[in-house]
Structure 1
Amino acid sequence: MTREPSLTDIADATAQLDELAATVRRIVNQAWSVGHTRALLDSPAPAFDENLWATLVGMGWPDVLVAESAGGGGGSIRELCVLTEATGTVAAPVPLAAAAAAHWCEQRGGDDIAVLLDDIGATMSEGRVDGHWPLVPYGAVTDRLVILADRHGEPVLGTVDATGGGVKRQTERPLDHSPAANITLDGAPLCDIATGADAVARHRDAVARARLATVAELIGTASAAHEAAVAYAKMRVTFGRPIGARQAIKHRLVEQRSVIEVARALVHRAADALELRHPDAESLVSLAVFWAIDTLRGVPEGATQVFGGIAYTWEHDAHVHLRRAATLVTILGTRAQHRSVVADWLQSR
């Protein structure tokens, strides 16, 4: 019989996660900064840093969800969200959420970049797969694609070598200049992982994990933008008073902090549901995603307004957070899609 967690258990787990978050943020701040990301925006090359990715791989972050027996960290989705939130605070140009979900789906670790593709009707015949994905984040630098395809009515979960035959990649340039790609598979060899209901369930669960970790990354981006705006509001003086003392600015900043904390609570709740395989897990993930798309993405925009004209200069960090937030939102799906899931879930309760 499974024992329900006590208040002591919850408090201990929360304290451990808080300690992990503080440690991870120190590590990230030593390895990267928003200024580094801004410098990449000046380069004609996509905004991706191989050395930073190698550092994260060396610490085992992309494999945090993989079981220890398979060479991973054996961690929880909450721990992954702590990691992605930390990378979000410095707008780190790495595919941590996507790679971690893909590695979990494959149930094996690795130092390469794997990307989990959405289920958009890929078809398979004689061991080869066809399909088209118009915008794959980090698709231009990925080594492997994890795909759910249809083989004569049977779902098949498998991997495709992104550098092999039958794979066509056309580089795209999203707002944050990350190495996205338009990917077409034309008879690409597929290596099976799972089939049938197990393939569908594993892919859906992995997609949910990727989306939730992306929301956590957006929380990090929003938090960094908000903290910078608060600091600026305290030191920027007009007409003899800090602008943070003015009611309009004060209310904006308080509202933005509330939005961030609600988002973090929704992520924690959905993460716990995923770990417990609760029947409401997918709906709770959509609730967190809907909040991120509908409200959380506005925090970097509001922070930019607090800075005023200085935020629109190329040398300022505000636009880096704004770009990253806008790009992350596009990864999460449409607002209408998640609103529909949440509405159906609420009506059924």
Structure 2
Amino acid sequence: MHFGLSEEQQALVDTVRAVVARRQSSTTLRDALSSEFGYDRALWTALREQVGVCALAVPETMGGMGYSSFETHIVLEELGRSLSPTPLFGSGVLSVQALLYGADEKSKSRLLPELAEGTAIGALCWADRSGRWRTDGSGVDARSAGQRWLLTGTATLVIDGMEADRLLVVANSGVGPALFEVDPHDKTLARRSTPGVDPTLRFASVELVDTDAELLGSFGDSLPDLYAAAAIALTALQVGGAQAALDRTVSYLADRRQFGRPLASFQALKHRCADMMVAVETARSISWAAAWAAAERTPDLRWHAAMASSWCSEAFSYVAAEMVQLHGGIAITWEHDAHLYFKRAHSTAQLLGSPHEHRRQITGGTVTPTGR
């Protein structure tokens, strides 16, 4: 494995960074968060139409570009760097990967083209009432009623669930976990916004009571692999955020003066920044290794996911905390972005399982690397 980006992948990163920077010059993050949709729709339009971020991991035969989830991963890292709220993680990752792992060919051919184009936003209903993304099912049960399927239960932490045009549901059927689609405007379905600690991530809860659903396919034993792919994609947001926290801290220390000297000239602060850099670089390495495993669907995918999720969650939390400490009093004001990185770090560290839960999978032997 060549552990670095190809020229084409680096060009993709540079393009996304340029598009985001261009929008940030006219629209601030707080403007986007306070808007009707909670994100910059012009930025999202540019990303999906000019860059094609939603289509990267979708096969060409289904309206995509035919690359892999690794390309989506490095795009997410760039968006994590700027904390740019977009539907990419919820629609372009969770929904697309759920279809690729669990839907039949007919359903994929129907739904993937519009998700790849970005004209429809998908949301995946999976986490149960307690907020756990169970690898053996979900908090929703499906029962067959003649030619129909009826879903009953509650899904929480539905990312972009309020804005979604396509609601996909992981439900427990008689043949194991299966993927269904429901009409988001069905009267037997209730969507409620559930704001979290991180204002850049938009959650909803979805309650279903005998809601008509269309069966898209069965996961078989691949639901844990879908969970692993989702957890790995989340580490991209963490690495990008950690890199931005480091960059902003180094820049601040170089500009801020104390006792007639730049703060960056103090050796103790240099050492702390060096430790932050080590955390960021090791997190990126393990995140990219896991992203490659996800793209290739290697046998040790779940082991890579557990390792990356555990390491990147703690690395981002550490770097974000250091950002607050090294910025001093300004970092705890509402106007400064440090608290946004801090909130992103701690919310993503819990979203798809805490670090100690992922480590328990490794030490308990439930996930192992190939050949061990």
Match of 1:182 among 194, 197, 205: 205
Pairing of 1:1-349 with structure 2 (within 5 A) = 10=2, 14-32=6-24, 36-41=28-33, 43=34, 47-58=38-49, 59-101=51-93, 102-106=95-99, 107=108, 108-110=112-114, 111-118=119-126, 119-126=137-144, 127-177=149-199, 178-195=201-218, 197=220, 200-201=221-222, 203-343=223-363, 344=365, 345=367, 349=372
Residues 236 and 287, structure 2, Cα contact 8 Å, conserved in 1: yes
Q: 1:154 to 1:328 in 2, by over 3 A?
A: closer
Check 1:146–1:22 CA distance in 2 against 1; reply closer, same or farther (3 A cut): same
Structure-2 change in CA distance of 1:196 and 1:241 (3 Å)? closer
* C-alpha contact 1:208 1:285 (8 A) present in aligned 2: yes
Matches of 1:44 and 1:271, distance apart in 2: 32
Q: Which amino acid aligns with 1:147?
A: V
Residues 34, 90 of structure 1: 8 Å contact kept: no
- CA distance, structure 1, for counterparts of residue 215 and residue 271 of structure 2: 54
Q: What is the CA distance between 1:163 and its match in structure 2? A: 2.8
Aligned to 1:297, what secondary structure does the other structure show?
Answer: helix
**% identity of equivalent residues:** 29
Deviation per residue, 1:143-195 (Å, 9 max, x gap): 22222222224432222232333221121111232431122121222222212
Q: Distance in 1 between matches of 2:281 and 2:347?
A: 21
2:171 and 2:177 in contact (8 A); partners too: yes
- TM-score, normalisation: structure 2: 0.83
- In structure 1, how many angstroms separate the alpha carbons of the residues matched to 2:205 and 2:194? 6
Kindly provide the CA deviation profile for residues 234-275 of structure 1, in whole angstroms up to 9, marking residues without a partner as x.
Answer: 111111221112122111111111111111111111122222
Closer/same/farther in 2, CA of residues 311 and 39 from structure 1, 3 Å limit: farther
One-letter identity of the residue aligned with 1:103: V
| Mapped partners of 1:304, 1:34: distance in 2 | 26
Tell me, in whole angstroms, the C-alpha distance in 2 between the residues paired with 1:245 and 1:89: 26
Task: Note closer, same or farther for the CA distance 1:289–1:92 as it changes in structure 2 (3 Å cut).
Answer: same
> 1-side partners of 2:4 and 2:40: how far apart?
36
Gaps of 5+ in 2: 100-107, 127-136
TM-score by length of 1: 0.88
Distance, in Å, in 1 between the alignment partners of 2:181 and 2:257 is: 56
Query: 248-257 or 206-215: which moved more?
Result: 206-215
CA displacement 1:31-61 (0-9 Å, x = unmatched): 33697222345x3856333333333232321
Deviation at 1:83, TM superposition (A): 0.6
Deviation at 1:323, TM superposition (A): 2.5
Aligned residues: 337
Which runs of no fewer than 5 residues in structure 1 stay unpaired? none
Contact 2:241 2:316 (8 Å CA) reproduced: no
Question: 1 CA distance for matches of 2:241 and 2:322?
Answer: 13
Kept in 2: contact 1:37–1:47 (CA 8 A): no
1:83/1:187 Cα in 2 relative to 1: closer, same or farther (>3 Å)? Answer: same
Would the aligned equivalents of 1:116 and 1:207 in 2 still touch at CA under 8 Å? no
Matched residue type, 1:104: Q
